[in-house]
Structure 1
Amino acid sequence: MLKLHEHDAVKFGSFTLKSGIESPIYFDLRVIVSFPDLMREVSAQLWQATQRAGISFDVMCGVPYTALPIATCISVKENVPMLIRRKEAKDYGTKKMIEGNFAKGDTCLIVEDVVTSGTSVLETVQSLTNVGMVVKDAVVLLDREQGGRQNLEVKGINLHSVCGISELLDILCGAGRIDSETAAKVRQFLASANEVKVPQSKPCEDGGQPCKKQKKMLTYQQRAALCTHPVAKRLFTIMHEKRSNLAFSVDVTSATQLLQFADDIGPYICLLKTHVDILEDFSQDFVTRLQATAKKHNFLIFEDRKFADIGQTVLKQYISGLYRICDWAHIVNAHIVPGPGVIHGLSKVGVPKERGCLLIGQMSSQGSLATGEYTTAAVKMAEENSNFVMGFICQGSLTDDPRFIHMAPGVQLGGSGDQLGQQYNSPAQMVTEKRVDVIIVGRGILNAEDPVATAKLYQHAGFEAYENLSNNLCFCTI
């Protein structure tokens, strides 16, 4: 444990956890892959914990991603077969979630680095049981003592830990690594923090067995409370207050026409999406009037610029030229092809101005290359730049982190597609099945005989799907 602290795998200060909670202690065990001796020692400690507990199993599986190298070390040294669980299925090849050789009925031991609520362990349990495996035990290096053990026990999983956070504090205090005041602060945090509970499975409406796949659903209002990003917090609040998860993509070439649509449709949307570079009469007067309309009807403005260049170039595109997007657009978006520099460039101005950025994780066009490793990289970049990145343009939920917003284009009430490769899903499919937060509708409203009445239909359909999802304690999947 002293070596973990020595290599900054255990840190003290003020940290925002994935749940949005502020914590005085943080574990970053990803760093241990750079220290082979420490990796071997951690792996040995975990193996000894399984031996002390007398656990019997056929194979082992590390929770992605930090625990994967730890499980690999144990597998190689102790000659124990190992499986790999993907965070998302490949969209090519075998499309498996579990990789490796196993048989139905095999017992699998789960290996994890840190347990807080136990959610990550349970997600891995679900993937394993979906392919017919049995999971009874999980071994973890550090237990944060915030309800994870109890949550796992409810699901029939025994947690075996090498060290709990209380014991860790005693060790570090005894070695003079931290003072008693720091230890007391962490203990007070543990005593006052609400345990993160995993909801109990409830029978389906037909009275059958409990659902095999279940996730806790937070409301827009609850997610707003968790958000530290000012634009995300504001958008979730608008969605709650206006009872709307509808974004209107108003792709017209006339500024006057755009402003009229914004005024007519504004009462029913949470977000207005623009492409100002197609306007034939863009002016600063247009910007002033658009901002006034947004304030009048309480919606945010999203300029769909799709920045995709090196940092210095996108910074100039954001702050300069005819459009000066940073001055009026609450939200912009970016491709990740150039690497994180595109985010860093935009954030130099975006963060001080309290703007938000969406990363393009997936696209609705047929044959899009924004899949697989590209999408995974987008999520990683978002997590590493969450002070500016507030979510994703996507075709389904990319992360369970409730602070990130998922917005999906390609939505129409009837579904289908067009001759240029655009593919459509219904509001219910996007919200209920694919778990997106905001539905983006363009031609479905623009080309309607009565755009206002149609916008109301989309607003109702999208929010009804959200309410149906959040009101259900039981989510069944086929």
Structure 2
Amino acid sequence: MSEPLDRRFTQFLLESQALKFGDFTLKSGRRSPYFINAGAFNDGRKIATLGAFYAEKIQAEIVNGHLSTRIDTIFGPAYKGIPLAVATSIALELNHGSTVGYTFDRKEKKDHGDGGTMVGKPLEDGMNVLLVDDVMTAGTAVREVVPKLKAQADINIVGLILSVDRMEKTKDSNLSAVQDVSREFGFGVYAIANVKEIFAAGRELTNDEGEPYVNDEIAQAADAYLTQYGA
């Protein structure tokens, strides 16, 4: 494909109205002039397209030598990670001929039927597990889920694929959340696009009225936010 992955992904975010501009309070408590709404991927076409982007990023990182060529299952943390894991697994099969399982967790342990806290491909010792999540701001979800996975089996977490890296420093360091998680857990974290790439593309891409999605006012607000919180 002629256009870079991050630019194509930015166009998809904008056309899906998943990238919003305004005044948003994040889980971290920070007030942000932009927000990525994973809930906007709410039909079959959008979630299939999103899965295809994840699968493409995974294949690119395998080619780059950053990810293992053997991935046994894709793990997505409940709830937003569930459709990501399923859609990515499907896209890897259909678009890349790679058969990979999917696994996700339950918020509460099930005490009837098949029981347990995990759904999908069972975790077993020695398995290579790739995590998927939507947007990383502080890395809280990863810190919650890694111990749960390690408690299930002696697995190898080979990496984490995100849709967007917000490139924000943590509250306790000058490292970005991506850098901090990678340092803490020892696996690479790779985003389909980061916010700088998204805003650069958004200034060039135009809406139906021929106007850039990211105008000067939006760009200035984003730059000010990253000046304060960016890593």
TM over 0.5: yes
SS at match of 1:117: coil
- CA contact 2:135–2:163 (8 Å) conserved in 1: yes
Q: CA deviation at 1:93?
A: 4.9
1:220-235 aligned at under 5 Å gives the runs none
* 2: CA distance, partners of 1:32 / 1:12: 17
- Work out which of the residue numbers 53, 58, 66 in structure 1 matches 2:80: 66
Q: Is residue 2:112 matched to residue 1:104?
A: no
* 2: CA distance, partners of 1:187 / 1:124: 32
Aligned CA distance change for structure 1 residues 92 and 11 (closer, same or farther; 3 Å): same
Q: CA deviation at 1:107?
A: 1.3
Counterpart of 1:21, as a letter, is R
Match of 1:83 in 2: 103
- CA contact 2:167–2:230 (8 Å) conserved in 1: no
Q: CA deviation at 1:104?
A: 1.4
SS at match of 1:97: strand
Match of 2:157 in 1: 135
Counterpart of 1:136, as a letter, is V
Match of 1:18 in 2: 27
* 2: CA distance, partners of 1:91 / 1:190: 46
Match of 2:219 in 1: 183
1:361-400 aligned at under 5 Å gives the runs none
Q: CA deviation at 1:138?
A: 0.4
* 2: CA distance, partners of 1:117 / 1:20: 11
* 1: CA distance, partners of 2:193 / 2:81: 16
Q: CA deviation at 1:68?
A: 1.4
Cα deviation, 1:262-293, whole Å, max 9, x if unaligned, reads: xxxxxxxxxxxxxxxxxxxxxxxxxxxxxxxx
- CA contact 1:74–1:80 (8 Å) conserved in 2: no
Kindly indicate whether structure 1 or structure 2 has the higher relative contact order, using CA contacts under 8 Å at least 6 residues apart: 2
* 1: CA distance, partners of 2:135 / 2:57: 14
1:138-157 aligned at under 5 Å gives the runs 138-146=160-168, 147-154=176-183, 155-157=185-187
Q: CA deviation at 1:73?
A: 1.6
- CA contact 1:13–1:24 (8 Å) conserved in 2: yes
Q: CA deviation at 1:23?
A: 0.9
- TM-score, normalised to structure 1, is 0.39
Q: CA deviation at 1:157?
A: 2.2
Q: CA deviation at 1:90?
A: 2.9
Counterpart of 1:72, as a letter, is V
Aligned CA distance change for structure 1 residues 94 and 168 (closer, same or farther; 3 Å): same
* 2: CA distance, partners of 1:80 / 1:171: 32
- Work out which of the residue numbers 37, 41, 49 in structure 2 matches 1:28: 37
Aligned CA distance change for structure 1 residues 6 and 97 (closer, same or farther; 3 Å): same
Gaps of 5+ in 1: 196-478
* Deviation larger for 75-84 or 134-143: 75-84
* 1: CA distance, partners of 2:163 / 2:137: 12
- TM-score, normalised to structure 2, is 0.77
- CA contact 2:74–2:100 (8 Å) conserved in 1: yes
Counterpart of 1:82, as a letter, is Y
Whose strand proportion is higher, 1 or 2? 2
1:8-407 aligned at under 5 Å gives the runs 8-34=17-43, 36-54=44-62, 55-56=67-68, 57-77=71-91, 78=93, 79-93=99-113, 95-100=115-120, 101-132=122-153, 133-146=155-168, 147-154=176-183, 155-175=185-205, 176-193=212-229
Identity percentage of aligned residues: 27
Q: CA deviation at 1:28?
A: 0.6
Match of 1:461 in 2: none
Gaps of 5+ in 2: 1-9, 94-98, 169-175, 206-211
- CA contact 1:60–1:80 (8 Å) conserved in 2: yes
- Work out which of the residue numbers 2, 11, 24 in structure 1 matches 2:11: 2
* 1: CA distance, partners of 2:142 / 2:42: 21
SS at match of 1:89: strand
Counterpart of 2:201, as a letter, is I
* 1: CA distance, partners of 2:230 / 2:219: 19
Which is greater in Rg? 1
- CA contact 1:33–1:69 (8 Å) conserved in 2: no
Counterpart of 2:203, as a letter, is C
